[in-house]
């Protein structure tokens, strides 16, 4: 399998490719990790683990009995490549990928609207 050292053009809406390179094999831009499935947005909640970030994703759930939406949210563990620097409170875009560990099935693609 070829190792992708070049920057891949993922064409994610609202996300620009990172300006720095990295050697992370599980990087969607520089590694061999493929993003497939859903693309979600969320807020960074914790970045304490190495190469991992906890993202809070908010969404609307339609309650049929009361015929209105309610706000729900879930925490998603996402892999954080070395080339993407985030801090708590950042709005990020994450993409679904293959399971990288027991709880990590998403990868951070970049800061929304940022570089």
Q: Decide if residue 80 touches Zn ion (CB under 5 A).
A: no
Q: Decide if residue 81 touches Zn ion (CB under 5 A).
A: yes
The residue (of 74 and 98) whose beta carbon lies closer to Zn ion is 98
The residue (of 29 and 106) whose beta carbon lies closer to Zn ion is 29
List of residues 6+ apart from 97 with CB closer than 8 A:
28, 33, 34, 35, 36, 37, 79, 105, 106, 107
Tell me the C-alpha distance between 84 and 63, whole Å. Answer: 37
Judged by CB under 5 A, the number of residues near Zn ion is 6
**Interactions with Zn ion, residue window 13-32 (CB under 5 A):** 22, 27, 29-30
- Smallest distance, Å, CB 30 to Zn ion? 4
- Around 73, how many Cα atoms within 13 Å sit in the side-chain half-sphere? 11
Q: Decide if residue 79 touches Zn ion (CB under 5 A).
A: no
C-beta neighbour count of 39 within 10 angstroms? 16
Q: Decide if residue 40 touches Zn ion (CB under 5 A).
A: no
Tell me the C-alpha distance between 56 and 54, whole Å. Answer: 7
Enter the DSSP assignment of 101. S
Phi/psi at 103 (5° precision): -115, -10
The residue (of 55 and 83) whose beta carbon lies closer to Zn ion is 83
- Smallest distance, Å, CB 35 to Zn ion? 13
Binding site for Zn ion (CB under 5 A): 22, 27, 29-30, 81, 83
């Amino acid at each position: 399998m070829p190792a992708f050292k070049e920057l891949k053009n993922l064409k994610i809406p609202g996300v620009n490719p990172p300006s720095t390179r990295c050697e992370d094999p599980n990087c969607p831009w520089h590694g061999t990790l493929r993003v497939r499935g859903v693309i979600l947005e969320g807020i960074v909640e914790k970045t304490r683990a190495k190469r991992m970030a906890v993202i809070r994703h908010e969404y609307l759930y339609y309650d049929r009995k009361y015929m209105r939406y309610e706000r729900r949210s879930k925490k998603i563990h996402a892999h954080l490549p070395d080339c993407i620097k985030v801090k708590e409170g950042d709005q990020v875009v994450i993409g679904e990928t293959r399971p990288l560990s027991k709880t990590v099935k998403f990868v951070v693609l970049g800061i929304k609207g940022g570089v």
